[in-house]
């Protein structure tokens, strides 16, 4: 008790030390939530340790790191001289994802703006449900569309010998990524307080001026995050790309060329690579590489979301 106050504690003040049932329930819940949060971290670390353990022997063993990333020759099953170069695979993944984003970003931002700012009532609700439904289509179905519908369509339209390639898989991947990007972008727009819109509209700003000058800047971080998550989705997608890209190792010179993606390579070959062989460990090294890329992209999305939040 501080000396200069000179009064004994009151009855209620002493009661402040009583910890009732509520207090213990609160502590118990905090512990449970902590365990839940930690288990997610432990799982991710576990996955990382596993793929690193399988791949690391290769990285520090027979592999030439420089050659691994710069050689376009991926011939893991060659009897005479097996080579492990993932340049062609990286170019494949990057070109398909790049094209997908060119398609998905305008589509999804447009859809988000329409749903969030223009559509009202029934239209808006219906569209939201439809977009969420689109996001739930399994990727193998998208791959099937790529093979069965897009392939002949591209052959016919552009008069090329084969319709499986960057164009096909880029479009498919773009359509796949768009719904989830739309949902996140729309959430970002919805998070902008209506007061901002009203204040701008009250000055006589047009709908488009309100959106471009007030809503977009306010929602900038969320929109960026939507795009980055779309990119992450593109890098990670496997089945649809495997089916629509043609899956042939190639440094492409046009959008009609077939390419092979990093993910598709793992999916197609891991089952046939003898456990512990160079091939098996090379595939795990690709896994580490993909894990790091996805990690960096997600980290960037996270920094973008927070970075802006601090300044405001």
Question: Which positions touch another protein (CB under 8 A)?
Answer: 1-2, 4-5, 7-10, 12-20, 22-23, 26
Nearest approach in angstroms of CB 261 to another protein is 43
Nearest to 282, CA basis, from 102, 119, 51, 96: 51
CA distance 175 to 137: 11
Nearest approach in angstroms of CB 14 to another protein is 7
CA distance 116 to 104: 17
Q: Give the H or E element holding residue 128.
A: helix 121-135
Q: Which two tokens mark 28?
A: 């118990």
Count the alpha carbons within 13 Å of 16 in the hemisphere toward its beta carbon.
5
Nearest approach in angstroms of CB 3 to another protein is 10
- β-partners of residue 140 are none
- Neighbour count for residue 256 (Cβ, 10 Å): 19
Nearest approach in angstroms of CB 2 to another protein is 6
Instruction: Please identify, using beta-carbon distances, which residue of 1 and 41 lies nearer to another protein.
Output: 1
Nearest approach in angstroms of CB 16 to another protein is 4
Angle at 260 between CA 241 and CA 271, to 5 degrees: 85
Q: Are the C-beta atoms of residues 206 and 105 closer than 8 Å to each other? A: no
Count the alpha carbons within 13 Å of 242 in the hemisphere toward its beta carbon.
15
Instruction: Please identify, using beta-carbon distances, which residue of 17 and 159 lies nearer to another protein.
Output: 17
Q: Are the C-beta atoms of residues 259 and 246 closer than 8 Å to each other? A: yes
Instruction: Please identify, using beta-carbon distances, which residue of 196 and 216 lies nearer to another protein.
Output: 196
Nearest approach in angstroms of CB 196 to another protein is 17
Instruction: Please identify, using beta-carbon distances, which residue of 5 and 41 lies nearer to another protein.
Output: 5
Instruction: Please identify, using beta-carbon distances, which residue of 2 and 204 lies nearer to another protein.
Output: 2
Is the sign of the CA dihedral 85, 164, 94, 228 positive or negative?
negative
CA distance 203 to 28: 52
Instruction: Please identify, using beta-carbon distances, which residue of 17 and 81 lies nearer to another protein.
Output: 17
Instruction: Please identify, using beta-carbon distances, which residue of 7 and 80 lies nearer to another protein.
Output: 7
Nearest approach in angstroms of CB 1 to another protein is 6
Instruction: Please identify, using beta-carbon distances, which residue of 20 and 204 lies nearer to another protein.
Output: 20
Nearest approach in angstroms of CB 24 to another protein is 11
DSSP, collapsed to helix, strand or coil, labels residue 19 as coil
Largest CA distance in the chain: 96
């Amino acid at each position: 008790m501080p000396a200069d106050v000179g009064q004994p504690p009151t009855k209620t003040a002493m009661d402040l030390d009583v910890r009732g049932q509520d207090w213990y329930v609160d502590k118990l819940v905090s512990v449970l939530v902590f365990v839940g949060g930690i288990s997610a971290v432990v799982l991710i670390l576990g996955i990382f340790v596993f793929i690193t353990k399988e791949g690391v022997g290769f990285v520090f063993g027979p592999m030439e790191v420089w050659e691994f990333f710069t050689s376009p020759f991926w011939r893991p099953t060659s009897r005479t001289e097996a080579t492990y170069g993932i340049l062609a695979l990286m170019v494949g993944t990057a070109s398909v994802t790049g094209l997908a984003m060119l398609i998905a970003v305008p589509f999804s931002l447009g859809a988000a703006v329409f749903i969030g700012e223009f559509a009202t009532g029934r239209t808006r609700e219906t569209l939201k449900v439809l977009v969420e439904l689109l996001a739930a289509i399994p990727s193998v179905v998208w791959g099937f569309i790529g093979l069965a519908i897009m392939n002949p369509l591209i052959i016919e339209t552009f008069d090329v010998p084969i319709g499986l390639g960057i164009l096909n898989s880029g479009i498919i991947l773009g359509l796949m990524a768009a719904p989830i990007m739309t949902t996140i972008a729309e959430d970002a727009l919805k998070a902008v307080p209506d007061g901002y819109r009203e204040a701008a509209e009250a000055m006589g700003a047009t709908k488009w001026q309100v959106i471009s000058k007030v809503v977009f800047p306010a929602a900038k971080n969320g929109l960026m995050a939507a795009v980055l998550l779309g990119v992450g989705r593109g890098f990670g997608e496997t089945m649809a790309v495997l089916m629509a890209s043609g899956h042939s190792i190639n440094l492409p010179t046009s959008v009609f060329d077939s390419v092979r993606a990093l993910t598709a390579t793992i999916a197609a070959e891991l089952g046939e690579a003898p456990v512990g062989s160079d091939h098996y460990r090379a595939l795990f090294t690709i896994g580490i590489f993909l894990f790091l890329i996805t990690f960096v992209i997600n980290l960037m999305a996270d920094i973008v979301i927070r970075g802006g939040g601090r300044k405001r």
